Amino acid sequence: MGHDLLLRNGTVVDGTGAPAYRADVAVQDGVIAEIGQIRDGAARVIDAGDLVVAPGFIDHHTHYDAQICWDPVLSCSPWHGVTSVVMGNCGVGIAPCRPEAHEIAAWDLVNVEAIPFDVLGAGVTWDWETFPEYMDAAARRGSGVNLGFMAALTPFRHYVMGEASMDREASAEETGQIAGLLRQALEAGALGFSTTFGPQHIGYQGRPLACRQASRDELEAYCNVLRDLDRGIVELNLNDAPGIVTPEEYELLELFLRETGRPVTWLSLLVRDDRPELCQETLEQTAALLARGARPQVSCRPLIVQIDLRNPFAFANLPEWKPLFNQPPEVQMRHYRDPAFRDAFRKQLDGGYIFHRDTYFKRLEVKEVHAASLQASVGKSVDQVARERGADAVDTFFDICIEDDLQLDFTMEAMNSNVGSVGALIDHPQTLIGLSDGGAHVDMLCDAGYCTYLLGTWVRERQAMTLERAVQRITSEPADLFGLRGRGRIAAGNAADLAVFDPETVGSDKRPEMWHDLPAGGRRMVMPARGMQYTIVNGQVLFDDQKHTGVLPGQVLRGGA
């Protein structure tokens, strides 16, 4: 009998961590039909003799909630072999949403996920109101990759409480209504719910994101929905300071584990240059929680960010900066000129911010300018520019931005630069590799290439991890944690989601490219892939040699018990 698709003589790395082996893989009706030496032919045969055949990669931390409306392919994740994504993380999303609250939901995404308001206004279709309708709309629209949805707590509180959700805790009656909507979402197939406690997460009008106002009684009620249904996972954006779990945060993790009886994953462990040992200390500190199913999220890539002062997200956890969000440039520049504002920023940099002032401005480089008078500054650190001007680095930082009408862009390698410390994190059996943030911070960073970076940099170049272990970490491990049944392993009867790559060339760069292809002419950073020959979703070739074949075979992945 002929098959739909046959991959001949590939090196199969099946996602379990077992040793690689040579085999053919046959696909029929979207599932893996047979593995071994297959005599039958197929409608399409791919010679995989020099290639690795792995399960499609699963990116569990994305913010494609809006992008699914205008980009069904969800670039650039599938370029890197990703076949399934999970969105709705960090407590922010766009469902459920009443028609009169569209603007509030959009501004939440602007402030938390740094997606421009004009892009959202031109791109989001709003063809839903409830959360189940949002999932159904995604299924009707079609997608290149499989879509999993977390129920982000903020829009659920908005839906029941209106604008009061940003100002206070819910009443007992409101809590019951919100819990009922969460139950409805879980029963419709949401994979769990997400929330945030990060002070940098501000929403509409610069007010606290609504989920941050939830009381402990509320949180227990929402956790009990998962316990009663015996399904789902909780995702928490926990950290004010990456790498640290404070006593209060430890208690929160314990609460979520206790009240759900389900897995809990939190953000994040990122390596700081000033304290590279900190993440390992935190793993030891939280060992009892890890044993109960808590999983910190880590990244295998250096955190390279682009910063501008039009959208000062990088400083959102500093109180003096919060009034600058969603303000016109002339209002922002008035603050940036103010000597008192600058002095306060100096004190913050000298008083325990992630970087000390001297370190920060030696790392922060001028990436792009518009004013001709500033062209000579491109590629130089702020510290260099300040020394050339004979000026203070803080003053120079603000001055050159104002001289460029706030159009100037900076770049810096912020965290995860210490190879030894990062290697220990990604090899730890109880961490979860990911943190792509796909779809968010669109003109600031793009870590959607973390899967190919793991394979190219950590496996081939540094030989810090076996190929089999690396594939397991980005396939079966997230599939099991998020309850994606039939995904993450090459096995007969499983979905035919496959990443087929050349192990000698697979990889991605450290620094992304800037494209201008968003709705309303918006710009975004993208990360091209190398060596990923085929991305196959539900048995159909989605990308062939980095070219979209035109199909949209993705499915909405609905969780269950």
Query: What is the mean predicted confidence (pLDDT) over 288-297?
Result: 97
In a domain, 364, yes or no: yes
In a domain, 509, yes or no: no
Residues 6+ apart with CB under 8 A from 72: 141, 142, 143, 144, 552, 554
Domain that holds residue 404: 306-414
Distance of CA 327 to the CA centre of its chain: 26
Q: In this predicted structure, what is the pLDDT of residue 348?
A: 85
Quickly tell me which residue has 């809590």 as its tokens.
175
Q: Is the dihedral of CA 48, 49, 54, 59 positive or negative?
A: negative
In a domain, 520, yes or no: no
In a domain, 331, yes or no: yes
Instruction: Please check the confidence at residue 397 and state whether its pLDDT lies above 70.
Output: yes
Q: In this predicted structure, what is the pLDDT of residue 261?
A: 98
> How do the residues of the chain divide into helix, strand and coil, expressed in percent and rounded to 5?
40, 20, 40
The pLDDT confidence band at residue 267, using thresholds 50, 70 and 90, is very high
In a domain, 147, yes or no: no
Distance between CA atoms of residues 468 and 16, nearest Å = 8
In a domain, 346, yes or no: yes
Distance between CA atoms of residues 243 and 266, nearest Å = 11
Distance between CA atoms of residues 461 and 384, nearest Å = 33
Q: Are 173 and 214 in contact (CB under 8 A)?
A: no
Q: In this predicted structure, what is the pLDDT of residue 200?
A: 78
Query: What is the mean predicted confidence (pLDDT) over 24-47?
Result: 97
Query: What is the mean predicted confidence (pLDDT) over 162-184?
Result: 98
Instruction: Please check the confidence at residue 400 and state whether its pLDDT lies above 70.
Output: yes
DSSP code of 361?
Answer: H
Instruction: Please check the confidence at residue 561 and state whether its pLDDT lies above 60.
Output: no
Q: In this predicted structure, what is the pLDDT of residue 354?
A: 61
Better-scored residue on pLDDT, 419 or 353: 419
Helix 393-403 with 329-337: angle, nearest 10 deg: 150
The pLDDT confidence band at residue 191, using thresholds 50, 70 and 90, is very high
Q: Which ranges constitute the DSSP H helices of 230-327?
A: 247-260, 278-285, 287-291
Amino acid at 75: S
Number of structural domains in the chain: 1
In this structure, of 175-179, 412-416, 456-460, the range with the lowest mean pLDDT score is 412-416
Q: Are 63 and 448 in contact (CB under 8 A)?
A: no
In a domain, 343, yes or no: yes
Better-scored residue on pLDDT, 323 or 317: 323
In a domain, 43, yes or no: no
The pLDDT confidence band at residue 458, using thresholds 50, 70 and 90, is very high
Q: Say if strands 3-12 and 42-47 run parallel, antiparallel, or are unpaired.
A: parallel
As a whole-number percent, the residues of the chain with pLDDT over 90 amount to 85
| Burial of 521 (C-beta count, 10 Å sphere; 0-12/13-18/19+) | exposed
Can you read off the two tokens belonging to residue 389?
A: 């001007």
Instruction: Please check the confidence at residue 533 and state whether its pLDDT lies above 70.
Output: yes
Q: In this predicted structure, what is the pLDDT of residue 113?
A: 87
Distance between CA atoms of residues 67 and 90, nearest Å = 16
Instruction: Please check the confidence at residue 195 and state whether its pLDDT lies above 80.
Output: yes
Greatest Cα pair distance in the chain: 78
The H or E element spanning position 398 is helix 393-403
* CA dihedral angle for residue 332, residue 334, residue 340, residue 341, rounded to 10 degrees: 10
Cα radius of gyration (the chain): 23
The pLDDT confidence band at residue 356, using thresholds 50, 70 and 90, is low
Instruction: Please check the confidence at residue 8 and state whether its pLDDT lies above 70.
Output: yes
The neighbour count for residue 204, using CB atoms within 10 Å, is 23
Residue 151: strand pairing partners: 193
Q: In this predicted structure, what is the pLDDT of residue 314?
A: 81
Query: What is the mean predicted confidence (pLDDT) over 131-151?
Result: 98
Cα separation values, 538 from 250, 331, 498, 529, Å: 40, 51, 8, 21
pLDDT per residue as tens digits for the range 72-103: 999 999 999 999 999 999 999 999 999 999 99
Q: What is the pTM of this model?
A: 0.93
Q: In this predicted structure, what is the pLDDT of residue 94?
A: 98
Query: What is the mean predicted confidence (pLDDT) over 299-304?
Result: 93
Q: In this predicted structure, what is the pLDDT of residue 355?
A: 65
Half-sphere exposure of 221 (CA within 13 A, CB side): 20
Find the angle CA(338)-CA(341)-CA(342) to the nearest 5 degrees.
Answer: 90
Instruction: Please check the confidence at residue 41 and state whether its pLDDT lies above 80.
Output: yes
Distance between CA atoms of residues 66 and 506, nearest Å = 29
As a whole-number percent, the residues of the chain with pLDDT over 70 amount to 98
